[in-house]
Each structure stands twice: as structure tokens, then as C-alpha cells.
Structure 1
Amino acid sequence: MPVSKKKTDSAIIGGEVVTGRDLTSQSVVGVLTQNKETGDVEICSGTLLKNKLVLTAAHCVSDPEGSLSISVVFDNVISPTGNTITAIRAVPRTAIPAWWGAETHLETDTGDIALLQYVGDTPSGYTPITALASEEDIVNNNQILIAGFGVNKVTTKPVDVNTFPDLIGAIQSGQVSCKDPVRLQGCVEVSMEGAGTLRQATSKIKNNRYSSSEIEVAPQSGNTCHGDSGGPAFIVKNNKLYLWGVANRSANNRLTDCSTNSVYASVPFFREWLNLAAARLQEESVK
């Protein structure tokens, strides 16, 4: 996935590169947003649903000022000559829950989920995923599969808080992470590499009641990082993937080095909203 002027990237830390033999290659897509004024591009991930819909995170595509151009990227497309190419589809329509950004939902139950609808055909080789119908299958300690585009290597080095230029700005942008951002203790400069390649890894469900609509996930063979936002968490049954989660954020918001557990929005919890949002987007597309 060629990207220029990246502002914040992310990918599966410690994961394996997805190939055409992996089921995730058929349903996980990239979500790109470009600021129309600055040209800055950010990477997120998403999961393909039926009717040209993609499920991702609200914080990836929330655009109250109308400053973003949003695209879905299919990065596993094989050309007639046998080469892998990238197919990009524009996104004119999005849907985000009313919870997102509400004062009462800033810490937990944030409603960080979004539905996109792209225009144009769906490239061959891509298949809409089946969403998990019930939260009953989301059980603590169960192994799951996560996937996403972005950073696969994070390095840190200690910083001198007395001499580091614009320390507060660096903390706010994620360039510097502090264990105690109030006292400015345990601060390190964070460097991330490897965004733009689809990877997958195994994790496990740590707390299926992190909040009423969110689940906490602990890393096993890999962990989510910046830009995996919006990417899926799957349960695997009989060699079939069932989507149950959407990557939201770190469970420890003070650290930005992708070393802590992750929080995912529960797809079954938002099932009614998703059905209504999908119907509305479908109506708008035929007007």
C-alpha cells in the first residue's frame, strides 16, 4: 500500500505478513484518509461486509469539518499479468454512532465504530465477512485472530525531559510516551516502522466485560498498534472467520508504544445499530 506524507501509522506488532492463502486476505482492507488542506495521509484498517460496506473505527473517519477524503484500499488484487496491484475505491458515505464524541462516553463505551460505503466494484478475490451474531461466543481466555495494516516495529529510547524540544507537544502527538505524563516520569521517544503491509497475529480475550460495549484483548503472537485501528478481531470456527471486534485503542492511554492490552468494540453489541446504518447507507446510495 504506497502512502506518502504519513502522519500516524500502525500495524500488527510481531505478526506475520498475510498471503493469498490466508483467509484474512479476502476480507481485511485498508482505510485511508487524506486531509484536503494539508495533504496528510493516515492509515487505518477495516473489514469488508456485504453491499460494498466496510466496518472500521469512528476515530479513523470522523470528519465534522468535512476536511477528509476517505478511500478503501484493496491491496491483494492480482493483475492479468500476475502482479499484485492496489485497487482504491472512494467513500462518499459514512455512518457513526451518536455515542462517538459524547461527553458521557469519553472514557469507556466510546462508540468507536463506523460503517463506510464505497463506490465501484468489489475486486475479485475479496469476500464479505460473516459477523458474529451473539456475544456468548466472546469468552475470556479464548484465542482470537487479529489483523491490520501498519507498524510492525516499535523502538523506544529514554529522553531528557529537561532538554527535549517541545516535550508537551511531542507527548500529545505520540512522539514521546510517559508512564506518568503528569510528573513527566518514565518518558521515552517512540519510533514506528513498517506501516502499509497487512499482517495477522493471535491474541486472547482478556476481559469480555471491559465495558458494556467493549472487550479487552491481550497479545500473544502479536499486538495491535497505531493504524490497526478499525481492524478486525475474529473467532475461527471450522476454518471460517467470524468478525466480533473492531480495534479501538490501548487499554492504557498513557502509553503509545503498543506494549499494553488493546480495547475492541463489540460487533454483536452494535448489531442493531449496524443493521439500521447499513439500511440508511443503502437508501442513500440509490437516491
Structure 2
Amino acid sequence: MRALSILVFTALTFFTSNAQAVLLGATSRDPNGLRRSVVSIENSSGELCSGALIGPGLVLTAAHCVTDTATYRVVGVNKAFRPQRVGVIALAVHPSFVTGTTPRTQPGVDLAILLLERPLGGDFLPLDPSLSGRIDVGDDVTIAGFGVSNESLKGTARVLRQANLVSLGPIKVANRVLIVADRERLAETSGAGACRGDSGGPILAATQNSYLLYGIVSWSSGALRSRGTSACGGLTAVTPLIEHLGWIRQAVASLTARNGAWARH
């Protein structure tokens, strides 16, 4: 754990950002794959994040993705990978989240749940957070998001990509997060990981037939040996869901009770 602490501190001394595309990720082209469960979140100010569908009309994402004074909409892609856009009518932010901070210096929990104006439909597959487990050091995980494929190429966003990473374990920076990274490069040099557009996207554990939702991406860093001012390709920090299932259940119940019980079914 001490070695991980030194690694994270060194990376943070260089560059970090909101984890806003899956760097070195493979484009997801399976109509029965993660496109059923992973969505993008856009606001009227032009900002982009990712999220995980946890009900027909409910999306789990990072709280820092919804702090702008703006209108929001969620975009899913159907089996033909055509966008399906739905407006957001209500949201719940974790009560410990503190606005006005960066994700890395956030002392609270970087989670939010969005309620959509209507369900995305039967073409999509919500993930159940209550099935979330604990990710141990050395475990393989999958990251997915709609961010850029290259930090300097903004036009590559809004395409679903995924990559396999390895867990390096939990650490407390300002709040408690789980650190994941490219298994081969371990953040020493630039590898796979979250980048601009992936905040709020899911960290998943693959099963024989599907995926389990284990966490939500909060921020990322550049590689330790990066020569430029990169904030991608190094460490990816994740909010682990198993520690916050009570709040998730309460927030879902509150949102659906006030705005439409259909969102739970």
C-alpha cells in the first residue's frame, strides 16, 4: 500500500484532470455488448461525460459531471449504433459532495444519479449496483466511456470504447478511491485508461455472459514518465460502489417516488 501511495502522489505531482475517453481503448461494436448499458451525458454548455444505466430511466455518473448551471441529456446508442437522446428531469447528488473543488481534491463522494424524462427502452440493459463486489489488488477490470481516443483530438469523442485494466488497490487522496491502470505499463509510460470524456463511466467486472458494475470513474492522471502536459494514460481513479450502496438505494427511491415509479421497472 505504501508503494501505491508513492506512485499516486508522484503522478498527482504532475498532471491530473477530470477523467473526461478511453485512451488506447477498442471501439465497442457488439450490438449486444456494453452499448446496452453505457451512455454519454451532454449539457447545454457543451460538456461531455459518461455514465452507466442502472434502470430504464436512471443513470449513475460522477457528481462533478452535473455541477454546471445547464440542462442535461443522456445519449444511448441503439443496436445500429445510432444515438437515442433523452432529457434529464431530476438528479440526486451524494450529500457529502462539495462543489467548487476538482475531482482530485474532492473530500466527498463523487457520485450522482440522473432521472430521465422517459425510459431508453427495451433495447438497453440496466446494470444492478446491488450486485457490486469488492475489487482486490490484481483483479482485472473493464473501463468503458465515450471520451476521446487521443487527448489532442476532440473530434474523436462520442464513440463508445472499452479497455481492460488492473486494480492497484484503494487509496485516500482527498477522498477514498480505487486506482486502476494499464496492466503492462502500470502508469510508468502512457497506456490504456480514462481520458477526457470518461468521467462518470463504469468500471466493470466481466462475467461469463455479461458485466457487473463495480465503480464509477472520477479522475485520471498522466503517466509518470510523460514528456508533455498530459492528464491521461496514467492512473484512473474510481469511486467503488460497494461502499455507497445505501445511498444509491435511497436516492433511487427518492427520485422515482417524486417523479415516476416507472424508472425502477
TM-score bin (small chain): 0.7 to 0.9
TM-score w.r.t. the length of structure 1 is: 0.72
User: Over aligned residues, Cα RMSD in angstroms?
Assistant: 2.8
Residue among 71, 82, 86 paired with 1:85: 82
Question: Are 1:143 and 2:140 an aligned pair?
Answer: yes
Distance 2:50 2:75 in 1: 9
1:185-212 CA deviation, whole Å, 9 max, x = no partner?
Answer: xxxxxx6551110000001111234467
The structure having more radius of gyration, on CA atoms, is: 1
Question: Which residue, 197, 200, 203 being the options, matches 1:233?
Answer: 203
2:240 alignment counterpart:
266
Per the alignment, do residues 148 and 103 of structure 1 end up closer, same or farther by CA in structure 2, a change over 3 Å counting? closer
Cα offset for 1:153?
A: 1.2
Per-residue displacement from partner, 1:112-158 (whole Å, max 9, x unpaired)? 110001012323321111225454x3111111110000210135xxx
Q: Deviations over 1:60-115 (max 9, x none)?
A: 1124xxx211001012354xxxxx42211110100001211179997355311100
Number of matched pairs: 231
Instruction: Label 1:281 to 1:51 Cα distance change in 2 as closer, same or farther (>3 A).
Output: farther
Distance 1:42 1:207, change over 3 A: same
Per mean C-alpha deviation after superposition, the further-off stretch among 276-285 and 247-256 is 247-256
Q: Higher strand proportion, which one? A: 1
Gaps of 5+ in 1: 1-7, 36-40, 79-83, 156-190
Match of 1:188 in 2: none
Partners of 1:127 and 1:57 in 2: how far apart?
20
Structure 2 length-normalised TM: 0.78
The alpha-carbon deviation at position 257 of structure 1 amounts to: 2.9
| Matching residue of 2:36 | 26
Structure 1 counterpart SS, 2:256: helix
> Which aligned runs of 4 or more in structure 1 are off by greater than 6 angstroms?
102-106
1:116 counterpart = 2:117: no
Partner residue in 1 for 2:96? 99
Query: In the aligned structure 2, how far is the partner of 1:140 from the partner of 1:9?
Result: 21
State which of 74, 77, 92 in structure 2 corresponds to 1:75: 77
Match of 1:154 among 151, 154, 175: 151
Q: C-alpha separation between the residues in 2 aligned to 1:21 and 1:75?
A: 9
SS at 2:64 equivalent: helix
Can you list the C-alpha shifts for 1:197-233, whole angstroms capped at 9, x where unaligned? 0000001111234467421111247210011000000
Q: Separation in 1 of the partners of 2:196 and 2:104?
A: 19
Report sequence identity in percent. 26
3-state SS of paired residue (1:154): coil
